[in-house]
Amino acid sequence: MHKTRFQWLITGMLLMTMTGCGNDQRILEKIGLTHTTAFDLMPGDMLKVTNSIPLAVDEGRRPREVLTTISDSSKGAKVDLSRQTQLVLVSGQMRNIMFGTTLAQRGFWDDIDTLVRDPSVSPRVKVTVVDGNAHDLLVKKYSNYLRTAQYIDRMMESEMRFQSIPKITLYEFTRDYYDDGIDPVAPIIKDIGDHVKVNGIALFQDDRYLMKIDDQETIFFSMLSKNFKLGSLPMRLSEEGEKKEFVLFDSLVSKRQVHAARAGESSFKVDFEISVSGVILEYMGDLKISKEEDRHALEAKIGEKITSHMETIVKDMQKHNVDSLGLGNAIKLIVPYKEWKAMDWREVYPEVEVHCQAKVKIKHYGKFQ
C-alpha cells in the first residue's frame, strides 16, 4: 500500500516537472531578446529607434528580426515596437546602444537616463556613436556576417582588448557625465561597404559630441587616459619628403603619471609623464638597432613622436573645451573644496598649461643585424 502511494507520488512529481519544462520552452519561444538598439534624431525632434533581435537559425527562420519606429521618446518607442512583433520584447540581454551623429551632436542624455533608470537594462551595455545614421548601419546585411549586431559587438570587443578604443558602458558614461572633473567619451564606428570599422573616439562636453579623435590617434589618447598593456603602434618617423623611416612597436606596456600644480594664484599646470615599453616587430631606416647607441636614438625618436601627438590632442581638446582626460580631477586634488566649487572650470580649463613627456624603452628587437 505504502509502496503504491510512493510510486504515484514520484509519477506526479515527474509529470509536474515535465509540464513545467514545456511551459518554460513555450515562454522562451515568445521572448524577443533585444541585442542592440539604435537611436537617430529625426525632423521635429522626433526619435527613430531600431531594435535588433537575434532569432534561432533553423527551419528557414531569419537570423534576426529588426524593428523600427519613430516616436517622441525612447519609452514610447518601446511600446510601438512591441506592437510590431509577436514576441515579448525584453532588454535583459542587451549588449550595445548606438547613437547616430546628429543625435550625439545635439545631446542624448535623456535617452541614456531612461536606460539607466530601467532595472532590466544592464549597466554594462556598451555606448557607441555611429559616424552617420545608426539605423542604416544596424539594418544593413553584411555578406560575411550572419547577424550585424553580433558582428559589431565582437569587433568592438576585439578592438578594446588592443587599446584602440576605450570600453565605455552605460556605467562609465553616466559616471563621467555626473563627475564635474571629467567629460565622457565613446567609440565611433562607421560603415565602409563590406565591413564596419572603428573610426575614432567621440569626445563630449556633458552629453554633446563636440570633437573626434581620429582612429590613427586613439592609441595616444589611451596613453594619456590610463595605464594599459597589449597595445600596438605603427609609426612613421620621417617627415614628408625625407627618406622613409618606419617602426612597428608592439606588445606595449604604457604607464602614466599625472602631476598638477599651481602656476599662479588662479592658474594651473598639469604634467603627463608617460613611460612606454615594447617590442620592435619591424623597422625600416638607417639605424642599426642591434647597436645600443642606435637603439637609444630610436627610443628618443619614438618618444618625441609620441609626445608631439599627445600635445596636439591636448591642445585640440582645450580648443573645444572638452576635458576628456580628467584634468579637473587632477586639479581638485590640489585645491580646497570651496575653491573648486566656486571655480568655473569651463573658463579655467582652456588656459591650463599642459606638458606631455613620453619616455620609450625597447625591450626586444628581434634578429636585426
The rounded distance, in Å, linking the Cα atoms of 308 and 313 is: 9
Low-confidence ranges of the chain (pLDDT < 70): 1-29, 56-61, 89, 163, 240-241, 366-369
* Distance from C-alpha of 114 to C-alpha of 74, rounded to nearest angstrom: 8
Q: Measuring CA to CA, which residue among 251, 235, 148, 160 is closest to residue 191?
A: 148
Give, in degrees to the nearest 5, the angle at Cα 249 between 247 and 254. Answer: 140
How far is residue 203's CA from residue 209's CA, in Å, rounded to a whole number? 6
User: pTM value?
Assistant: 0.87
What integer pLDDT is reported at residue 171 of this predicted model? 96
User: What pLDDT score was predicted for residue 143?
Assistant: 82
Provide the edge-to-edge strand list for the sheet that holds 196-205.
Answer: 64-71, 46-54, 36-42, 96-100, 126-130, 185-191, 196-205, 208-214
